[in-house]
Chain A
């Protein structure tokens, strides 16, 4: 890894204006993926980008903040950021997370115990700017300098060196998008400081005060979802057409004639999938239609705008948008008169609607919400459908979505299912609540601007790639079909990206998919394989 000291970027350097990136990502620094003989090289960003947008963090851009043109714009960036931080420390602006945020601002002892827990920091070859502690410490220094009496009185003796230049602000915002908000670091911190939360608070300040956010999360994400009904751009007519196609698809694949219920008033369950499933992996919502019908559940989908898309990107960057989307989901369910909302295989949507949004709802507008996984486990365990595990005769490993395990505590249902239907199931190490993020967490899976995909695949996803290769170590080169089960749309998106990037399908026949597909593939009454061993998509 070379001379670690020479690579350390101190906060002074971080704030210094420059057009050169603070660090460069080099293959030789990253953790080794020994089973891969080769991997695509790292490319420099074109000057057309670097001249206009700020690429000075690490030569990559997720947000792509335009370089300010004059002193006025530079000053505004700093001023607004400080105003945003003030709001974020206030009860009115941040009742949602003020307690966690204040605690995490006040009590870090800078012991560094969180560093090794972070897959991004470790996979990067321990580049100090990616340390969970570093990002937070930059914000803490600004906080201490401007918002604590000790900082105001004693200056850098208390705060440490910090100069909040425009360059520091743009780099810090960009750096908040180098964290998956997987919160593995918070599990490691003896004090319980949450550096993942701090990354999210930085994103919030940027979004809610400066109007700066990753385009895929805001403009093409929550804004689009609230406007047309889905961040995919799908409108109700489009959705209804897809449902028709799904019914046809189910029949041609399985021979089963299934009528998918839409807007059925008074059904027990409103099932909401991530709308990305309908476009990229319709076999997953189709599998649920088959299973729910066969198990005799009373359920429905909704064709109301937002009612057919469970995503809530607000959970990654903006409390206002988080609350708006969650409110809509609940309103739609109440209008339909269902008894509960069930969120399909989507980690962040589960965390957002089932966990985080809980305290947005008063007694009058409350409706219970749950993940689909316990229901699926119940169906499989109680033999409400017949399964023949031998039909899943290939190696299967399970990717734990952070939002499902560490952040919602749903760990066993998916395992109970796999132990019953996949005889060659093996765990990754570590797994369960100690898992590693797929690299797509906190929105990365859907973010593809500029050269961010390169950073994501090389750094954020690297630990997961290593885990997957290790999980299939024995069969890696024997030509057998292998399945990474990821019960989450975003994780699937990310896994698809890195399988393609590292050519894991071509080299090792590693494929991926959801959990319900494996269940249907094992169903005795369905003769043709539901999962194809011959194609990667």
Chain B
């Protein structure tokens, strides 16, 4: 006889699929909005790590007749700077240490949770493949325990700390809108629910089974005896689903924004001419921009004319 929770788990699985796919689609649409803005005027900000002269903050513009020279982009040093910023949040560390402690816990915790997710995912694949024992499985089992616990608590402490700081830091609290608190409170609620779930699922067995269930395509295969979840896990999954539906509309997707502000603005110092050759692709984009019509209305603005006719 089918367990009565079987129906519910199916619904939860559908909601999970939907919210996950929805989040990805809306996020991609958002990315395309930024990706499709016209080629802007240059507005780089030094130091630009991909430049050869970046060690002292310099650029190819330090070379006489720079346009005759090769301008190589040093991807290695760019990557190092990117990682320092992504993992360590270097700029916050240097400029607002008090905030950094909690922000680092929060972001670091999220990274750990992402790693936990990958390990749990691998664990569930191994389970699906019927290798739910042996050294490999146990390695992932213990790693996911470590990352999961540290991740959950670090993120939770970070989030609560950020709420506390926001409320007490007079320099920013007066500019805080209700939505800013709501976002942080929402995340801390999810984490609280995760913490409570730990009592009924201390080894992430349910989590792994549920993931296996999702991977296998909603019960096409039902590998485990834990075919239903504890109530607390249901609540956690539902909260996560809600969060996925909400996330793409918020500035919490600033990790996307950050890609563009760094790579397409602050570090985008590539000139039109390199080693004596004009970049043909840029030429096309510039022409396109110059053929746009000026909408501005001030007396000196040539409203209605094209930018090339200024």
User: Residues on A close to B: CB < 8 A?
Assistant: 4-5, 8, 10-11, 80, 83-84, 87, 90-93, 95-100, 102-104, 106-117, 126, 128, 131, 133-134, 137, 150, 154, 156-160, 183, 186-194, 197, 207-211, 218, 223, 319-321, 323-324, 327, 340, 354-363, 366, 368, 370-371, 373-375, 378, 405-413, 432-434
Contact = CB atoms under 8 A, between A and B. Distances in A.
Contacts of A358: 41-42, 271-272
A158 B298 contact: no
Contacts of A378: 64
Contacts of A409: 44, 46-48, 51, 53, 57-62, 269
B94 to A, nearest CB: 7
Contacts of A134: 175
Contacts of B64: 370, 374-375, 378
Contact of B37 (A98, A128, A223, A370): A98
Contacts of A158: 177-179
Interface in B241-268: 249, 251, 254, 257-258, 260-262, 264-266
B174 interface: yes
Counting chain A CB atoms within 10 Å of each CB, the highest count among B64, B251, B257, B278 belongs to: B64
Nearest to B263: A192
B226 interface: no
Nearest to B51: A409
B276 to A, nearest CB: 9
Contacts of A110: 172, 175-176, 180
Contacts of B58: 409-412
A374 B62 contact: yes
B227 interface: no
A10 B297 contact: no
B42 A103 contact: no
Contacts of B298: 207-211
Nearest to B296: A208
A368 B273 contact: yes
Contacts of B287: 362
A103 B265 contact: yes
Counting chain B CB atoms within 10 Å of each CB, the highest count among A117, A194, A211, A358 belongs to: A358
B251 A95 contact: no
A354 B61 contact: yes
Interface string B96-113: 100100010000000000
Given A102-B34, A116-B95, A189-B91, A359 B41 contact: yes
Contacts of B91: 113, 187-190
A115 B261 CA distance: 19
B108 to A, nearest CB: 14
Q: Is the interface of A mostly helix, strand, loop or mixed?
A: helix
Nearest to B288: A95
Nearest to A131: B171
Counting chain B CB atoms within 10 Å of each CB, the highest count among A187, A190, A323 belongs to: A190
Contact of B251 (A100, A107, A408): A107
Contacts of A187: 45, 91
A111 B94 CA distance: 13
A467 to B, nearest CB: 18
A357 B41 CA distance: 7
B45 A183 contact: yes
B14 interface: no
Nearest to A136: B175
B42 A113 contact: no
Q: Which 5 A-B pairs have the closest CB atoms?
A: A409-B59, A192-B261, A433-B57, A107-B257, A160-B177
Given A133-B175, A134-B175, A412-B62, A433 B300 contact: no
A113 B46 contact: no
A363 B42 contact: no
A150 B249 contact: yes
Interface string B137-177: 00000000000000000000000000000000111101111
Given A109-B251, A112-B172, A324-B310, A359 B65 contact: no
A10 B171 CA distance: 11
B40 A359 contact: yes
B286 A191 contact: no
A209 B171 CA distance: 33
Interface in B101-129: 103
B51 A91 contact: no
B272 A366 contact: yes
Contacts of B41: 96-97, 319, 356-360
Nearest to A159: B177
A103 B278 contact: no
Contacts of B46: 405-409, 411, 433
A275 B178 CA distance: 52
A368 B67 contact: yes
B66 interface: yes
Contact of A368 (B45, B65, B85, B103): B65
A95 B255 CA distance: 23
Given A98-B38, A99-B34, A411-B57, 18 more contacts: A80-B297, A84-B296, A96-B41, A128-B171, A191-B254, A319-B41, A320-B294, A354-B61, A358-B41, A359-B282, A362-B286, A362-B287, A363-B278, A368-B65, A374-B63, A378-B64, A409-B60, A434-B57
A136 to B, nearest CB: 10
B258 A93 contact: no
Given A133-B175, A320-B300, A358-B42, A410 B251 contact: no
Nearest to A115: B171
A370 B283 CA distance: 20
19 contacts: A11-B175, A92-B292, A100-B40, A107-B257, A107-B258, A110-B175, A131-B171, A190-B85, A190-B90, A190-B91, A193-B261, A207-B298, A354-B61, A355-B42, A359-B289, A366-B278, A370-B61, A374-B64, A406-B46
B76 interface: no
A55 B60 CA distance: 44
B283 A362 contact: yes
B272 A190 contact: no
A422 to B, nearest CB: 19
Contacts of A112: 96, 99, 169, 171-172
A111 B56 contact: no
Interface string B288-307: 01101111111111100001
Given A93-B295, A95-B292, A190-B89, A320 B66 contact: no
A11 B177 CA distance: 12
B37 A408 contact: no
Nearest to A374: B64
Given A192-B261, A209-B296, A320-B310, A362 B175 contact: no
B39 interface: yes
Nearest to A188: B95
A465 B37 CA distance: 41
Contacts of A117: 95
A359 B59 CA distance: 18
A207 B169 CA distance: 36
Contacts of B11: none
